[in-house]
C-alpha cells in the first residue's frame, strides 16, 4: 500500500505546473454571449488535455465548449466482494479567472521559506501584501509562497485547483499499487461569470459524487454557498439641451445614483460577513437618456434572498416617485442556489471529506462560502459536489497569494478521499 504523501519531486512538479498555468491568460468576460465567453480559455484547455493524455488518460478530450474531461480508471480488484459498489468520483476545477482584474501577463513571484512580514510586489510596490491584513501569513511562515508582481491577479483561483488535480492524476499513475475507485476529472470554463456548468453533461461525466478544489484555507470543507441572483435596474430618462432643460430634462444618471445612494449600508458587501446577506451594485453604465445598473444579490436562504430583492424594488419605486418623469424597471435572474439544500439529502459525500481530512492529522473546518462554485449548480443537477480548499488567498485581487504547502495538502486530501470511498464500498 502506497503512503499517501507527495514527495519532494511531486511538490516540485506541482509548483512547475502551477507557474505554467497562471501565465496563460484565461480571463472570462461577463458581457460576452459566446461559450466559452473568451476563446483564450481554450488555450489552457488544450494544454491540459495534452498533459492528461501524456500522463496516461487515454480518453483525455476538450469539447466544443472548452471543457476538458479525462478518466483515471479504477483498480479495485474484481475479486473484492464490494468491487462493483465502488462509486466513480469526480474532481473539478475551473480554468477561467475573474473578469474584473487584469489576468494577462502574469509574472509570478516565488518566495521560498517565507520568513514573515509584509510581501513586496515588484511591479506595484504600493500593492504590498500586508502581514497585518493577512492573518494566514502567520500560518505559512517557512512555506513557499507564490504571488503575482502586483500588476495582475495571480490566478490561484482556480489554477491552484487545476495544478492540484493534475498532481493527483500524475501520482495515481505513478503508484499503481494504490487501490482507488474510477476517477473522473473535469476542468470547466466561465465559472467566474456564473456559466461554468452551462454545458456540463452530468450523465456523460459519469461520477456518482464529486468535489471542486476551489477553496481557501487548509482543512476547510465547504458544503454551503450563497443563494445567488443577479438584478438589472434600467433607468430611462429624457434628454434635452441643458441650456433649455428646466422642467423638461430627466437625467437618468442622477436617478440611478439616487437608487445606489439609498441602499442601506447594512446591505452592502463591505459591511457584511459570515452568514449575512448582501446587495452589491457592481456595474453602472449609460448616459442621461438611459442607465443600467447591475447588482449581485446574495443570501444563504431563499427567504433572505427574496427580502433583499424586494428591498431593491421598493427603493426603485421610491426613487421613481421622487423623479416622476423617469421610467425604472427591475429584472431579477436566478444564478444558483445554496448547495446545502441538496447535500443534506445524502450527507455521506461530506462525511467522506471530513474523514479524509482527519486521516491527515487535521480537524476539518466546515464552512459556508460567501460566494459560489460550480458545485452549487452541479449539486442541483444531480451531482453532489462540495468544495475542498485549494489554498488561494485574496481572490480576484492583485494581492492574491497561495502557499505551495497548502496546495500539496489539497492534492493529498484528494487521494485520501479516494481511499475512503474505496473502503466505504466494502462495508
Say if residues 101 and 152 touch (Cβ distance below 8 Å). Answer: yes
Would you give the distance in Å from CA 298 to the centre of its chain?
15
- Segment 315-327, tens digit of pLDDT: 999 999 999 999 9
Active-site residue 191, yes or no? yes
Interhelix angle 8-22/156-174, nearest 10 degrees: 140
Residue 1 reports pLDDT greater than 80: no
What pTM was estimated for this model as a whole?
A: 0.90
155: left (phi over 0), alpha (psi -120 to 50) or beta: left
Alpha-carbon span 349 to 379, nearest angstrom: 11
Alpha-carbon span 154 to 308, nearest angstrom: 33
- Segment 76-128, tens digit of pLDDT: 988 776 667 899 999 999 999 999 999 999 999 999 999 999 999 999 999 99
- Segment 142-170, tens digit of pLDDT: 999 999 999 999 999 999 999 999 999 99
- Segment 220-245, tens digit of pLDDT: 999 999 999 999 999 999 999 999 99
Alpha-carbon span 226 to 280, nearest angstrom: 14
Domains in the chain and their CATH numbers?
8-225+338-425 (3.40.630.10), 227-335 (3.30.70.360)
From the list 10, 25, 51, 96, the catalytic residue is 96
Amino acid at each position: 500500500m502506497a503512503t499517501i504523501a507527495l514527495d519532494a519531486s511531486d511538490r516540485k512538479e506541482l509548483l512547475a505546473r502551477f507557474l505554467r498555468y497562471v501565465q496563460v491568460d484565461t480571463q472570462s468576460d461577463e458581457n460576452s454571449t459566446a461559450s466559452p465567453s473568451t476563446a483564450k480559455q481554450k488555450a489552457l484547455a488544450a494544454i491540459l488535455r495534452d498533459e492528461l493524455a501524456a500522463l496516461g488518460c487515454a480518453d483525455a478530450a476538450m469539447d466544443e465548449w472548452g471543457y476538458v474531461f479525462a478518466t483515471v480508471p479504477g483498480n479495485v480488484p474484481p475479486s473484492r466482494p464490494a468491487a462493483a459498489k465502488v462509486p466513480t468520483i469526480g474532481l473539478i476545477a475551473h480554468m477561467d479567472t475573474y473578469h474584473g482584474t487584469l489576468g494577462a501577463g502574469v509574472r509570478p513571484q516565488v518566495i521560498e521559506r517565507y520568513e514573515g512580514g509584509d510581501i513586496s510586489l515588484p511591479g506595484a510596490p504600493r500593492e504590498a501584501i500586508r502581514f497585518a491584513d493577512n492573518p494566514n501569513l502567520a500560518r505559512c511562515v517557512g512555506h513557499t509562497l507564490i504571488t503575482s508582481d502586483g500588476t495582475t491577479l495571480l490566478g490561484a483561483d482556480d489554477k491552484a485547483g487545476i495544478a492540484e488535480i493534475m498532481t493527483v492524476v500524475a501520482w495515481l499513475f505513478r503508484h499503481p499499487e494504490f487501490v482507488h475507485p474510477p476517477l473522473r476529472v473535469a476542468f470547466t470554463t466561465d465559472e467566474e461569470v456564473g456559466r461554468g456548468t452551462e454545458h456540463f453533461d452530468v450523465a456523460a461525466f459519469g461520477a456518482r459524487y464529486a468535489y471542486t478544489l476551489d477553496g481557501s484555507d487548509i482543512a476547510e470543507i465547504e458544503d454551503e454557498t450563497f443563494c445567488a441572483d443577479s438584478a438589472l435596474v434600467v433607468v430611462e430618462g429624457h434628454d434635452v439641451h441643458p441650456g433649455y432643460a428646466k422642467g423638461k430634462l430627466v437625467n437618468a444618471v442622477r436617478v440611478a445614483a439616487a437608487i445606489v445612494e439609498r441602499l442601506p449600508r447594512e446591505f452592502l458587501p463591505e459591511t457584511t460577513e459570515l452568514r449575512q446577506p448582501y446587495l452589491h451594485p457592481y456595474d453602472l453604465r449609460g448616459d442621461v437618456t438611459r442607465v443600467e445598473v447591475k447588482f449581485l444579490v446574495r443570501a444563504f436562504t431563499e427567504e433572505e434572498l427574496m427580502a433583499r430583492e424586494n428591498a431593491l424594488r421598493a427603493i426603485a419605486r421610491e426613487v421613481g416617485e421622487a423623479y416622476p418623469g423617469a421610467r425604472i424597471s427591475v429584472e431579477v435572474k436566478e444564478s444558483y442556489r445554496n448547495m446545502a439544500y441538496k447535500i443534506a439529502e445524502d450527507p455521506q459525500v461530506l462525511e467522506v471529506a471530513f474523514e479524509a481530512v482527519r486521516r491527515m492529522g487535521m480537524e476539518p473546518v466546515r464552512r459556508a462560502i460567501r460566494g459560489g462554485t460550480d458545485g452549487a449548480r452541479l449539486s442541483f443537477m444531480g451531482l453532489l459536489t462540495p468544495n475542498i480548499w485549494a489554498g488561494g488567498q485574496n481572490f480576484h485581487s492583485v494581492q492574491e497569494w497561495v502557499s505551495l504547502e497548502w496546495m500539496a495538502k489539497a492534492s493529498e486530501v484528494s487521494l485520501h478521499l479516494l481511499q475512503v470511498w474505496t473502503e466505504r464500498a466494502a462495508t
